[in-house]
């Protein structure tokens, strides 16, 4: 079937896309989907952020479907998240169906399959009224935004900005050969070099005019520099992009490490954040407690620290994981109103509430919080 032509309307006074931070009152959000998600095929980019016990799975089963029962339980939790968001008054949108099992190639490499659309936080970065398709590190994720194209076209037609960062080449020489993961205290060792700009949107966290990016094995210095220059060329001195370095042995994404939850309140990982940037000197900076997630959850893509990966509905209401009692207590003590939802089964597939969603519109305007 041919896609329907886009007929942009005259620009409305208010863009359907409006995001300046992680906490303004949430109006519209995309919740990911596990439909058709496959096991990622092994490729050099996985050697940096992924966990060695899962390497054989990626090497031998890449491109195949996940065990049905694991995926079903996770999908059920995603549905639960969508229902809770709706009950809280948020408009929920979902990705389009894509056949992720198809192979594809560039002139330089081929990928036996894609991955999925479970984590919309990675491929799309929303800043102000604009959506940026990000230059992601993994070949299997090269076409991930296909799942969001119908929504992107809709938002664009209704007045949002929409751009793609330079499509990366992802040559073999972008990735360190025979990569050995860093030891504790060995900061700045990543699988990516700086041959071209690379970042996932989840390497970025927004705090009004200040935008924080964590260097990682999915975000290189060139990626930070690309976003910095892009925002400067488009908005002059409006934004300040800060580059951060963490002590993480599988560095990928900032949102389980360094998370400004509300004005004056910064949640940080207890070990990875070795130095809190000076500009937070007047903020309440609190360390996440040890998670409760049971060891039998295989966590194919992430650390156990998914208890930090919450989702703010506004400055008070926060979606957090049912069963993570220490985190729920801490959030209450800090003045938040946690809404606990079961999500440990989804955690197996790459993240938690922040990863599984992409906020599209919040009330509020651009501010400086420092």
Return phi, psi of residue 188, to 5°.
Answer: 85, 15
CB of 309 to ligand ABU, least distance (A): 6
CB of 54 to ligand ABU, least distance (A): 12
> DSSP secondary structure string, 157-205?
HTT-EEEEPPPP---GGGB-TT--PPPTT-TT--SB-SSS----GGGEE
Nearer to ligand ABU, 302 or 327 (CB): 302
CA distances from 316 to 25, 126, 158, 266, 334 (A): 9, 22, 30, 13, 10
Nearer to ligand ABU, 42 or 305 (CB): 305
CB of 352 to ligand ABU, least distance (A): 8
Catalytic residue selected from 20, 253, 269, 354:
253
Residue 297 makes CB contacts below 8 A (sequence gap 6+) with 344, 345, 347, 348
CA distance 217 to 46: 9
Ramachandran region, residue 36 (left: φ > 0; alpha: ψ -120 to 50; beta: rest): left
CB of 256 to ligand ABU, least distance (A): 4
Catalytic residue selected from 200, 247, 255, 359:
200
Q: Contact positions toward ligand ABU, by CB under 6 A?
A: 202, 252-253, 256, 302-303, 305, 350-351, 355
CB of 255 to ligand ABU, least distance (A): 6
66's tokens:
């996940």
CB 209 within 8 A of CB 217: no
200 is catalytic: yes
CA distance 331 to 328: 5
Q: What is the CA radius of gyration of the chain?
A: 19
207 is catalytic: no
Nearer to ligand ABU, 41 or 351 (CB): 351
Nearer to ligand ABU, 71 or 231 (CB): 71
CB 330 within 8 A of CB 286: yes
CB of 298 to ligand ABU, least distance (A): 13
Catalytic residue selected from 203, 207, 219, 355:
355
CB 134 within 8 A of CB 167: no
Nearer to ligand ABU, 111 or 303 (CB): 303
Nearer to ligand ABU, 154 or 290 (CB): 290
CB of 257 to ligand ABU, least distance (A): 7
CA distance 31 to 84: 11
Listed in order, strand segments (DSSP E) in the chain are: 26-31, 91-93, 104-105, 110-111, 124-127, 130-133, 161-164, 204-207, 210-214, 240-244, 258-262, 265-268, 284-287, 311-312, 317-321, 337-341, 357-362
161's tokens:
């900005």
255 is catalytic: no
Residue that has been written with the tokens 């490729």 in this structure: 43
Q: For residue 64, give the 3-state DSSP assignment.
A: coil
Residue that has been written with the tokens 């993480």 in this structure: 248
Which residues are tagged catalytic?
200, 253, 355
């Amino acid at each position: 079937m041919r896609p329907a032509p886009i007929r942009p309307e005259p620009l409305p006074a208010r863009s359907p896309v409006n995001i300046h931070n992680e906490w303004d009152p949430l109006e519209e959000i995309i919740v990911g989907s596990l439909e058709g998600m496959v096991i990622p095929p092994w490729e050099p980019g996985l050697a940096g952020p992924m966990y060695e016990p899962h390497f054989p799975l990626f090497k031998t089963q890449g491109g195949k479907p996940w065990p049905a029962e694991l995926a079903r339980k996770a999908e059920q939790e995603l549905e639960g998240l969508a229902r809770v968001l709706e009950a809280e008054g948020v408009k929920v949108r979902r990705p389009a169906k894509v056949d992720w099992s198809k192979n594809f190639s560039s002139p330089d490499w081929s990928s036996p399959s894609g991955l999925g659309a479970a984590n919309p936080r990675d491929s799309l970065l929303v800043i102000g009224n604009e959506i940026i398709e990000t230059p992601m590190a993994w070949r299997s994720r090269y076409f991930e935004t296909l799942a969001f194209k119908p929504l992107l076209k809709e938002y664009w037609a209704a007045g949002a900005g929409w751009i793609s960062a330079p499509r990366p080449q992802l040559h073999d020489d972008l990735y360190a050969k025979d990569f050995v993961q860093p030891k504790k205290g060995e900061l700045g060792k990543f699988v990516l070099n700086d041959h071209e700009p690379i970042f996932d949107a989840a390497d970025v966290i927004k705090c009004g005019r200040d935008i924080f990016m964590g260097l990682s094995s999915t975000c290189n210095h060139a990626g930070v520099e690309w976003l910095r220059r892009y925002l400067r060329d488009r908005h002059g001195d409006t934004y300040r992009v800060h580059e951060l370095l963490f002590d993480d042995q599988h560095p990928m994404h900032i949102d389980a490490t360094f998370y400004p939850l509300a004005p004056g309140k910064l949640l940080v990982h207890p070990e990875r954040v070795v130095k809190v940037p000076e500009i937070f000197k007047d903020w309440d900076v609190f360390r996440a407690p040890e998670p409760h997630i049971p060891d039998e959850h295989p966590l194919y893509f992430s650390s156990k620290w998914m208890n930090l990966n919450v989702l703010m509905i506004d400055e008070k209401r926060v979606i957090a994981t049912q069963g993570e009692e220490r985190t729920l207590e801490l959030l209450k003590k800090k003045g938040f109103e946690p809404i606990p939802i079961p999500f440990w089964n989804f955690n197996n597939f790459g993240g938690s509430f922040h990863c599984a969603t992409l906020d599209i519109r919040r009330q509020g305007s651009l501010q400086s919080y420092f």
